[in-house]
């Protein structure tokens, strides 16, 4: 077909990535098998014979039928839903993803750990991620007109302590007991503006001071080594994976919270996103993740802007009844 379309064996051979001599030999063999010439060759040009014209028309019909059958039978695999879980040490997003896989085994999900919501939201906006879990609102955050989000959990904060730390003997650590103490909370990275903002506001609340900014410890073993080596409390969240050599103690009086949200690109109504939304709503309802979210409670503390937005009702919370359906 390529030779018939080009009517030039040199150009046809280049399109097919073969030598011109090899192409000429194949055409001669085909003509010998059919018992009729397909091309008229002169020193000036190449044209199709009447038999060549008929064969070309039939060949085009056969190729079109082949392509149609292939398209009907071979269904391309659906693109997996890529989910950023923020940190392997914090379990909220992982629990949502695990339940989503259980509820919808036919949907393929791919989990990722960016280590920070700020960096993940940039990837979400450019299509490198489909769903992001984490704190999506912080002071001085840039507008995100193409991204939608709902609050899925108010998770109490905690301190990760070396096992021999004096505060480790308490069942719960009052926030005021951190006054004047050094705590680890500000890693040296621009990927986590949401966490740096929360820590700054928490330090003002507690009267604690932060360790100097430093490279974050990646992985549970590294976190355990870092914890025992430096010997100071690390600000964490209550639903975190146990770290070797450390104990996790909830913070109280008041209970400071981390606001988990689910974010996705506006207009994304895929089955994967809808399943994650429904699963987050299910867990939030069954485990009381958003109990009293719209109420002003003196025993609970939230950073800004979440505190004001929840109080005014401008921060949408996850709900199974309001979840958009998947695109069909």
Task: Supply the pLDDT for residue 197.
Answer: 93
- List pLDDT tens digits, range 36-66: 998 888 878 888 999 988 888 888 888 888 8
H or E stretch covering 300:
strand 300-301
For range 221-248, the mean pLDDT:
80
Helical axes 193-206 vs 117-125, angle rounded to 10°: 150
Res. 91 pLDDT band, cuts 50 70 90: very high
Q: Are 81 and 67 in contact (CB under 8 A)?
A: no
In this predicted model, which residue has the larger pLDDT, 165 or 217? 165
Sorted by where each begins, the domain ranges of the chain are: 2-73, 81-322
Whether CATH 3.90.550.10 fits 81-322: no
Q: Are 137 and 306 in contact (CB under 8 A)?
A: yes
Looking at the chain, the whole-number percentage of residues with pLDDT higher than 90 is: 47
- Map tokens 């006054």 to a residue: 179
For range 232-243, the mean pLDDT:
87
> Which residue, 284, 317, 282, is CA-closest to 104?
282
CA distance 85 to 97: 8
Please spell the DSSP secondary structure of 5-17, one letter per residue. Answer: HH--HHHHHHHHT
* pLDDT above 60: residue 260: yes
Q: Are 112 and 173 in contact (CB under 8 A)?
A: no
CB-based contacts of 87, cutoff 8 Å, min separation 6: 113, 115
Architecture in CATH for domain 2-73: Orthogonal Bundle (1.10)
For range 257-268, the mean pLDDT:
95
**pTM for this structure?**
0.73
* pLDDT above 70: residue 271: yes
- Map tokens 């193409």 to a residue: 146
Structure tokens at 205: 């609340």
């Amino acid at each position: 077909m390529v030779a018939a379309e080009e009517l030039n064996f040199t150009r046809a051979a280049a399109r097919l990535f073969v030598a011109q001599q090899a192409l000429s030999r194949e055409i001669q063999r085909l003509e010998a098998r059919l018992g009729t010439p397909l091309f008229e060759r002169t020193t000036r040009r190449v044209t199709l014979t009447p038999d060549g014209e008929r064969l070309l028309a039939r060949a085009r019909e056969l190729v079109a039928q082949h392509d149609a059958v292939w398209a009907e039978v071979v269904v391309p695999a659906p693109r997996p839903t890529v989910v950023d879980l923020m940190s392997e040490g914090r379990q909220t997003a992982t629990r949502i993803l695990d339940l989503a896989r259980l509820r919808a085994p036919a949907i393929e999900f791919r989990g990722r750990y960016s280590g920070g919501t700020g960096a993940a939201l940039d990837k979400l906006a450019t299509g490198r991620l489909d769903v992001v879990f984490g704190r999506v609102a912080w002071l001085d955050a840039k507008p995100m007109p193409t991204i939608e989000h709902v609050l899925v959990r108010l998770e109490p904060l905690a301190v990760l302590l070396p096992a021999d730390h004096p505060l480790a003997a308490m069942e719960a650590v009052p926030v005021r007991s951190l006054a004047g103490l050094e705590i680890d909370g500000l890693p040296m990275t621009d990927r986590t503006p949401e966490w740096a903002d929360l820590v700054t506001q928490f330090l003002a609340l507690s009267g604690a001071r932060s360790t100097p900014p430093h490279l974050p410890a990646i992985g549970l073993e590294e976190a355990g080594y870092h914890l025992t080596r430096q010997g100071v409390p690390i600000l964490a969240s209550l639903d975190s994976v146990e770290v070797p050599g450390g104990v996790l103690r909830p913070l109280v009086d008041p209970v400071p919270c981390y606001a988990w949200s689910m974010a996705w690109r506006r207009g994304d109504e895929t089955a994967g996103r809808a399943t994650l939304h429904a699963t987050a709503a299910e867990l939030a309802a069954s485990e009381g993740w958003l109990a009293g979210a719209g109420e002003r409670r003196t025993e609970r503390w939230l950073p800004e802007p979440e505190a004001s937005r929840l109080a005014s009702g401008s921060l949408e919370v996850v709900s199974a009844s309001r979840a958009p359906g998947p695109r069909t």
